[in-house]
Amino acid sequence: MTSSLHPDERERLQAQNTELATLAGGLAHEIRNPLSTIRMNLELLAEDLGDSGASNAHRMLERVAKLQSECLNLEGVLNEFLQFARAGQLDLTECSLNDVVAEFLDFLTAQAEEQNVELRPHLDANLPLARLDKSLLRQVLSNLARNALQAMPKGGTLEFLTMVRDSDIAFEVIDTGEGMSETTVAKMFQAFFSTRSGGSGLGLPTVRRIIEAHGGSISCESAPGNGTRFTILLPRSA
Ligand SMILES: Nc1ncnc2c1ncn2[C@@H]1O[C@H](COP(=O)(O)OP(=O)(O)OP(=O)(O)O)[C@@H](O)[C@H]1O
Ligand SMILES: [Mg+2]
């Protein structure tokens, strides 16, 4: 446990952690820019090929399309990675979690309707204020909601609850989706763990990093066929 470490040692580890995160973030940036240049040039190449009238243009276009889609995948992974790396740097304002949730739900409504998912907010009107990074909290909501929608391909219900629990603000996201096996529950917060093809496996690790940077915690209850409940505890403002 970090708490049993000598303060000097803990500080050294934290500095090391920050340095590594900066390095990794820098590397991801360095890769992202040339990658988007490559993708843009592939687009131009595809246009030229289309205009060329060459006999094998069709086959070449297929290969270019494959390269473009791999570039897009890599860009997606890099963006998620950068979000993960940034998740520890907070820009705090005193606000109500209810407002952040309500705003996010407005944004989610259309997509939920399209997927036959009913959104049910239960927001405690007496919720105390908290010091939050609103933009990172939106990221938390977005990652949890995306997972929930992916777990309910045939529709279902998605609840968002806020309430006071002891000295904390509690926030629950409950879906009626496919749920998770014990193995998945044990591994879901590990970076790059994913059971989905095309999933980067950074969604939940980013969520946990953001919540812990706020001094909060996250836990999960889930079982196959029984849906999933994520519970987040956040400290209220002093
Ligand atoms: N609400 C949920 N219902 C069922 N399974 C879930 C849910 N949330 C997460 N999972 C499981 O946890 C795994 C890890 O989730 P995480 O969001 O970290 O990565 P991902 O969704 O696979 O990829 P991405 O990086 O694109 O979000 C998922 O692959 C899935 O198996
Ligand atoms: Mg996800």
Whole-number pLDDT of residue 135: 94
Q: Which of 116, 52, 96, 87 is nearest to 218 (CA)?
A: 87
Q: Which of 225, 140, 144 is nearest to 178 (CA)?
A: 225
User: Which ligand has the minimum distance to the alpha carbon of residue 192?
Assistant: 1
2-86 maps to which CATH number? Answer: 1.10.287
Tell which wins on pLDDT, 173 or 8: 173
**CA end-to-end span of the chain:** 26
- Ligand 1, atom 1, lies closest to the CA of 148
Whole-number pLDDT of residue 19: 85
**Residue 218, CA atoms < 13 Å, CB-side half-sphere:** 21
pLDDT at 2 over 70: no
Whole-number pLDDT of residue 86: 80
- Cα dist from 61 to 53, 55, 169, whole Å: 12, 11, 54
pLDDT at 3 over 60: no
Query: Where do runs of H (alpha helix) occur along 122-165?
Result: 134-150
pLDDT at 53 over 90: no
- Cα dist from 2 to 17, 53, 207, 217, whole Å: 13, 65, 20, 15
Would you kindly state where each structural domain of the chain is located, as residue ranges?
2-86, 93-235
Looking from the CA of residue 205, the nearest atom of ligand 1 is 18
Return the amino acid letter for 32.
R
Whole-number pLDDT of residue 238: 80
pLDDT at 153 over 90: yes
Give the model's confidence band at 42: pLDDT under 50 very low, under 70 low, under 90 confident, else very high. Answer: very high
pLDDT at 1 over 80: no
- Ranking 7-16, 155-164, 178-187 by mean pLDDT, the lowest is 7-16
Q: Which residues does a 6 A CB cutoff place in the pocket of ligand 1?
A: 80, 143, 147-148, 151, 175, 177-180, 184, 188, 193-196, 199-204, 228
Asked if 235 contacts 216 with a C-beta cutoff of 8 angstroms, the reply is: yes
Tell which wins on pLDDT, 148 or 78: 148
Whole-number pLDDT of residue 142: 97
Average pLDDT rounded to a whole number, residues 118-137: 97
User: Which ligand has the minimum distance to the alpha carbon of residue 202?
Assistant: 1
Residues with C-beta atoms within 5 A of ion ligand 2? 147, 203
Burial of residue 85 (CB within 10 Å: 0-12, 13-18, 19+) is buried
For residue 27, how far is the Cα from the chain centroid?
20
**pLDDT tens-digit profile of 178-198?**
999 999 999 999 999 999 988
> From CA 34, how far away is CA 11, in angstroms rounded?
36
Report the CATH architecture of 93-235: 2-Layer Sandwich (3.30)
